[in-house]
Amino acid sequence: MNDLTFIAVKTIEDLNIVRILRNQCRLYMTRFTDEIGYQQQLDWYWSLDLDTNKLFLLKKDNNPIGYGYLRVDSDKVLLTGGLGESERDKGYGKFLFNSLIEESKKFERPIQLEVLKTNTRAFKLYESLGFSTIKEDEEKIYMEIK
């Protein structure tokens, strides 16, 4: 997958691309699933502590195809991300989440994520990357990498 690059979001244009990709993935989100508008995305981003919140784009042949986000809490790093609809089931998710995991290791905390029980593709991907279930509720599985 030499044609894939994982880069930090640095421009307003990149941030808007993340918003568009995130909106394509919103039905697979475990938390806020409403569509996000341009100004809403800007307001959210500028409210972040950018030392503990990192936003990334995944590009294929320099075209954005996915996004990743990590948030450092006092006791863990939480990951989320997604791919554009036309880029799913091609192995890019593995590259995306491996890249997020590598970025997260810098913070020397447990690395966790959440997945909807109905999202079996993502669950299988996370298991293949070394995540295991730490708890469940009616709709979500909480996972941590060992």
- Please spell the DSSP secondary structure of 57-116, one letter per residue: EEEETTEEEEEEEEEE-SS-EEEEEEE-GGGTTSSHHHHHHHHHHHHHHTT-S-EEEEEE
Which has the closest alpha carbon to 84: 20, 12, 10? 20
User: What pLDDT tens digit does each residue of the chain (146 aa) get?
Assistant: 669 999 999 999 999 999 999 999 888 888 888 899 999 999 999 999 999 999 999 999 999 999 999 999 989 999 999 998 889 888 999 999 999 999 999 999 999 999 999 999 999 999 999 999 999 999 999 999 97
Q: Does a structural domain hold residue 104?
A: yes
Residue 139 in domain: no
Residue 135 lies in a domain: no
Number of domains observed in the structure of the chain = 1
Domain harbouring 65, CATH code = 3.40.630.30
pLDDT computed for residue 72 by the predictor: 96
- Could you tell me the residue range of the domain that residue 104 belongs to? 4-109
Q: Which amino acid is at 127?
A: E
